[in-house]
């Protein structure tokens, strides 16, 4: 049967398990005695193995199997966790990730056997503990078995209640006469499982590979339609032994329990003594035994389980529908403006208000579906910092806050690489070497902070390190040496301008190129990417104390509130979230600083930008006495945009301008107004 439809589930779940493994192994490295962590790792490794096996990825299965063995030993107290072991395990995880990468691209795991890793793992295993192993294992298994048995009462054997028709009875009798085994099984699926039907399907598929399912309750169709609770029962005819069948079923992940026994036609004989759960050394049962014993321990699992995976294409269709709806609403608004003084006017307006309420709600709920916690991006960073720490020989730790801050899916997908760049930067350039830190009297271990929080309609992400800070003079000198600027320019530069040099393409201050960073392809890429997402980056630094990168990103990209303005006879939209106030300014109040127009607004000096000049509009015949100025902000800087006319606030749908036309960076897109006219959206960030 075709497994490709489950490939996606497999990929997603493997990623999740890998993440869990990475997280937990990191914890284990810090606290080698933590038995909860070992259990968690073991569970994840085991699920991985089962999944890989079901999907037919033999190499991956073998690797995870050996990894599982190692943790089994650790769990039984026969091995201890050493730094060497942790390194091997990390290598192992990388190899699995490699397999996964291959699978994502080609649906095949590739050819790499990773023999060396497997050998190292086995070497660890042998070095760990031998001699006493077998005996202990047995006894442990026995205990588990006993435990499992007592906890399984008659209620669990639901298959006993399967009513069978005559022809099924015949089939069973016939099978028995041919010396085949007939088993009844009831499979319990984990209550947290999202895709029960898929799990059930995998069970069916596995069993059908070795035998025949003559009856299932509920029926196959109902199971496919997910019309069942968390268990289903079936009757199996097979040549294989009870243990083999049970193993096959239990290997499907998210299966909580399998109750399987020899099956006798009811009314014939008493049920044969229960041989269930005789799983020998196989850890499945043990795992369950542990789970039952300590259900409270599972609360360390990530809440990611509650999320629903939705195809992004479907969401985009939904988004488009919503945008159409808003356009339709805007159409109504413009009609109402034209008609005027009618008796039906009031109800018409009510209609509009109603429509407006719907669209707003729809917008919000759709947006919520698109929102993803930033956790899914940042959770791979602790591991990265650990590896960097080893590689660079610097002691450092990563402190993360606000991982649950939510961002639009499209932003989340893009933000990972820039953030990684910045963290690498901080680790390599930012933090001093351990020796230097000690000399400077700083704590030996460097700290990198990654903070995320929501700030109005933006999400702010900060990357802070307590390292050396940026040496502005060094940056200038390097820029002069590389010919980016002249010496005179360098002398004139303010600190802020000099720091902006770091964002120029191919700029690096590192004297030597390491494989971590220093090739100078970092920060300009970061900046481009973030500006492409409608956000911006700021740097503040204090020499000797550290550097802080602040990334500001919009919460959503598709629909925004905007102020509609007129410049000459053209309409433009200015995003509302960047507007501070709207001021009426007398022309006589305009002052000049360095030949640039500024106004003094309640004690703040704000530069003016004439939008008509920026937008190449025709000259006005005579200058009016009063100017309408929209004050916009970017970070803590403000600028006044001079416009001709205010039209009002409107919800607009952002649309791209098409492929072939060159767009100046002050225009971030376009929108369609109620009357079908196109208005351009001003990106005020580029004008501040």
Of 519, 521, 489, nearest in space to 505 by CA: 521
615 binds other proteins (CB under 8 A): yes
Could you give the residue ranges of the DSSP H alpha helices within 165-282? 166-177, 196-210, 220-224, 242-250
CB of 659 to other proteins, least distance (A): 4
The first and second tokens of residue 429, run together, are: 């350039």
Cα atoms in the 13 Å half-sphere on the side-chain side of 437: 21
Among 78, 655, 686, 688, binds other proteins (CB under 8 A): 655
* 21 in Cβ contact with 45 (< 8 Å): yes
Q: Identify the bridge partners of residue 542 per DSSP, sorted by sequence position.
A: 546
In the bound state with other proteins, the residue whose beta carbon lies nearer, of 540 and 686, is: 686
Is position 664 an interface residue for other proteins (rule: CB under 8 A)? Answer: yes
Tell which one of 198, 608, 680, 681 touches other proteins (CB under 8 A).
680
Please name every residue paired with 234 in a beta bridge, in sequence order, or none if there are none: 185, 216
- 614 near other proteins, judged by CB under 8 A: yes
Q: Per rule CB under 8 A, is residue 338 in the interface with other proteins?
A: no
Cα–Cα nearest to 524, from 544, 541, 542, 502: 502
Binding of other proteins at residue 327 (CB under 8 A)?
Answer: yes
Residue with Cβ nearer other proteins (277 or 639): 639
Taking alpha carbons only, the member of 193, 204, 212 closest to residue 248 is: 204
- Interaction between residue 657 and other proteins (CB under 8 A): yes
* Ramachandran angles phi, psi of 451, nearest 5°: -115, 135
Question: Which is catalytic among the residues 40, 68, 414, 538?
Answer: 68
Q: Which stretch binds other proteins (CB under 8 A): 71-79, 388-396, 581-589, 611-619?
A: 611-619
Distance in angstroms (rounded) separating the CA atoms of residues 218 and 203: 14
DSSP letter (8 states) at residue 655? B
Is 425 among the catalytic positions? Answer: yes
- Among residues 577, 672, 686, 688, which is the contact residue for other proteins, using CB under 8 A? 672
C-beta separation of 206 from 249 below 8 A: yes
Which range touches other proteins (CB under 8 A), out of 18-26, 43-51, 198-206, 676-684? 676-684
Of 506-514, 555-563, 601-609, 665-673: span binding other proteins (CB under 8 A) = 665-673
Task: Judge whether 69 counts as a catalytic residue.
Answer: no
Residue 158's φ and ψ, nearest 5 degrees, are -65, -20
Q: Which residue has the tokens 């003094």?
A: 600
Whether residue 68 lies in the annotated active site: yes
Give the chain's end-to-end CA distance (angstroms, integer): 60
Residue 567 CB, nearest approach to other proteins (Å): 10
Interface with other proteins, residue 125, by CB under 8 A: no
Q: Return the closest-CA partner of residue 292 out of 150, 158, 157, 156.
A: 150
CB of 253 or CB of 684, closer to other proteins: 684
Only one of the segments 222-230, 243-251, 356-364, 669-677 lies at the binding site for other proteins (rule: CB under 8 A); that segment is 669-677
Q: Is 603 in the site for other proteins (CB under 8 A)?
A: no
Rg, the chain, Cα only? 33
Pairing of strands 591-593, 596-601: antiparallel
Question: In terms of CB distance, is 515 or 569 closer to other proteins?
Answer: 569
The pair of three-digit structure tokens given for residue 386, joined into one six-digit string: 């650990």
| 324 versus 545: smaller Cβ distance to other proteins | 324
Q: Residue 403 is encoded by which pair of tokens?
A: 């991982």
Q: Are strands 546-554 and 591-593 parallel, antiparallel or unpaired?
A: unpaired
Identify whether 174 is preceded by a cis peptide bond (ω within 30 of 0): no
Window 551-580: contact mask with other proteins (x via CB under 8 A): -------------------x----------
Q: Is 643 in the site for other proteins (CB under 8 A)?
A: no
Phi and psi at residue 561, to the nearest 5°: -85, 135
Using the contact rule CB under 8 A, the part of the chain among 26-34, 260-268, 453-461, 675-683 near other proteins is 675-683
Shortest distance (Å) from residue 643 CB to other proteins: 14
Among 270, 616, 622, 623, binds other proteins (CB under 8 A): 616
Q: Is 644 in the site for other proteins (CB under 8 A)?
A: no
Check binding of 316 to other proteins (CB under 8 A). no
Structure tokens at 401: 């806050």
The region, left, alpha or beta by phi > 0 then psi within -120 to 50, assigned to residue 107 is: left
Q: Which segment (190-198, 247-255, 632-640, 671-679) binds other proteins by CB under 8 A?
A: 671-679
| 425, 432, 462, 538: the active-site residue | 425
Q: H/E/C letters for each residue in 515-550?
A: CCCCCCCCHHHHHHHHHHCCCEEEEEEECCCEEEEE
Interacting residue with other proteins among 129, 667, 686, 688 (CB under 8 A): 667
One residue of 679, 681, 685, 687 binding other proteins per CB under 8 A: 679
Longest dimension (CA), the chain: 108
Shortest gap between Cβ of 617 and other proteins (angstroms)?
Answer: 8
Q: In angstroms, what is the minimal distance from the CB of 334 to other proteins?
A: 14
CA distance 1 to 417: 38
Q: Decide if residue 516 touches other proteins (CB under 8 A).
A: no
In 10 A of CB 14, how many CB atoms? 24
From the list 222-230, 413-421, 638-646, 659-667, the region that binds other proteins by CB under 8 A is: 659-667
Catalytic residue among 46, 65, 363, 421: 46
Our CB check for other proteins shows the closer of 332 and 445 to be 332
Instruction: Tell me how far, at minimum, the Cβ of 671 lies from other proteins, in Å.
Output: 9
* Position 659 contacts other proteins (CB under 8 A): yes
Give the list of residues 6+ apart from residue 265 with CB closer than 8 angstroms, or none.
164, 169, 172, 173
Number of shown-chain residues binding other proteins (CB under 8 A): 27
The minimum distance between CB 572 and other proteins, in angstroms, equals 10
Candidate segments 206-214, 309-317, 481-489, 614-622, binder of other proteins by CB under 8 A: 614-622
For the window 395-434, what string marks contact with other proteins as x by the rule CB under 8 A?
----------------------------------------
Q: Which is nearer to other proteins, 510 or 615 (CB)?
A: 615
Identity of the residue, 166 or 313, whose beta carbon is nearer to other proteins in the bound complex? 313
Cβ contacts of 114 within 8 Å, gap of 6 or more: 59, 63, 95
Q: Given its phi and psi angles, is residue 613 left (phi above 0), alpha (psi -120 to 50 degrees) or beta?
A: alpha
Q: How far is the CB of 657 from other proteins (least distance, A)?
A: 6
Residues forming the site for other proteins (CB under 8 A): 323-324, 327, 570, 614-617, 655-664, 666-667, 670, 672, 676-680
Catalytic residues: 46, 68, 425
């Amino acid at each position: 049967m075709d497994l490709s439809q489950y490939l996606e589930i497999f990929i997603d779940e493997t990623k999740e398990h890998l993440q869990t493994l990475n997280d937990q192994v990191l914890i284990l490295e810090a606290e080698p005695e933590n038995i909860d962590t070992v259990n968690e790792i073991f569970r994840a490794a085991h699920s991985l193995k089962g999944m890989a096996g079901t999907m037919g990825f033999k190499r991956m299965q073998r690797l995870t199997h050996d990894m599982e063995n190692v943790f089994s030993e650790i769990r039984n107290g026969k091995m201890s966790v050493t730094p060497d072991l942790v390194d091997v395990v990390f290598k192992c995880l990388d190899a699995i990730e490699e397999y996964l990468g291959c699978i994502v691209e080609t649906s095949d795991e590739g050819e790499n056997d990773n023999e060396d890793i497997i050998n190292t793992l086995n070497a660890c295993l042998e070095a760990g503990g031998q001699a006493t192993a077998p005996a202990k294992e047995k006894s442990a298994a026995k205990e588990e078995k006993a435990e499992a048995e007592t906890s399984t009462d008659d209620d669990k054997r639901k298959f006993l209640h399967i009513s069978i028709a005559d022809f099924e009875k015949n089939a069973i009798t016939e099978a028995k006469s041919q010396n085949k085994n007939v088993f009844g099984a009831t499979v319990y699926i984990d209550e947290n499982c999202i895709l029960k039907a898929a799990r059930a399907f995998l069970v069916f598929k596995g069993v059908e590979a070795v035998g025949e399912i003559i009856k299932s309750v509920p029926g196959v169709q109902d199971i496919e339609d997910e019309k069942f609770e968390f268990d289903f029962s079936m009757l199996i005819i097979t040549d294989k032994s009870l243990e083999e069948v049970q193993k096959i079923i239990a290997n499907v992940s998210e299966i909580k329990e399998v109750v399987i026994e020899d099956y006798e036609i009811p009314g014939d004989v008493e049920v044969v003594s229960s041989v269930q759960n005789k799983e020998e050394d196989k850890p499945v049962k043990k795992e369950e035994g542990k789970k039952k014993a300590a259900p409270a321990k599972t609360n360390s699992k990530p809440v990611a389980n509650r999320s629903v995976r939705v195809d992004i294409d479907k969401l985009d269709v939904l988004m488009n529908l919503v945008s159409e709806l808003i356009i339709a609403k805007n159409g109504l608004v413009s009609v109402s403006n034209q008609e005027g003084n009618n008796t039906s006017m009031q109800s018409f307006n009510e209609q509009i208000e109603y429509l407006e309420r719907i669209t707003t709600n729809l917008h919000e709920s759709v947006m919520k579906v698109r929102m993803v916690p930033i956790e899914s991006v940042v959770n791979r960073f602790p591991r990265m910092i650990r590896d960097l720490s080893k590689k660079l020989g610097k002691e450092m730790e990563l402190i993360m806050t606000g991982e649950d801050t939510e961002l639009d899916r499209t932003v989340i997908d893009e933000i990972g690489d820039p953030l990684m760049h910045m963290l690498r930067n901080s680790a390599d350039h930012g933090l001093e070497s351990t020796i230097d830190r000690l000399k400077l009297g700083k704590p030996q271990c460097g700290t990198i902070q990654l903070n995320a929080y929501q700030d109005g309609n933006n999400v702010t992400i900060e990357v802070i390190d307590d390292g050396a800070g940026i040496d502005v003079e060094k940056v200038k000198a390097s820029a002069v040496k590389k010919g980016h600027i002249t010496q005179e320019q360098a002398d004139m530069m303010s600190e802020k301008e000099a720091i902006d040099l770091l964002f120029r393409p191919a700029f690096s201050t590192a004297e030597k190129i390491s494989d971590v960073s220093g090739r100078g392809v970092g920060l300009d890429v970061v900046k481009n990417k973030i500006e492409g997402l409608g956000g911006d980056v700021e740097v503040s630094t204090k020499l000797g104390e550290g550097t802080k990168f602040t990334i500001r990103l919009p919460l959503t990209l598709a629909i925004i509130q905007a102020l509609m303005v007129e410049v000459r006879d053209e309409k433009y939209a200015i995003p509302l979230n960047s507007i501070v106030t709207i001021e009426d300014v007398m022309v006589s109040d305009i002052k000049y600083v360095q030949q640039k127009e500024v106004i003094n607004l309640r004690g703040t000096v704000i530069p003016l930008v004439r939008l008509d000049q920026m937008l190449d509009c025709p000259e006005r015949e005579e200058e009016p006495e009063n100017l309408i100025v929209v004050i916009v902000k970017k970070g803590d800087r403000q600028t006044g945009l001079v416009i001709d006319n205010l039209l009002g606030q409107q919800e607009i749908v952002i649309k791209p301008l098409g492929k072939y036309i060159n767009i100046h960076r002050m225009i971030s897109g376009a929108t369609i107004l109620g009357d079908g006219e196109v208005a351009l959206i001003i990106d005020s960030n580029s004008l501040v």
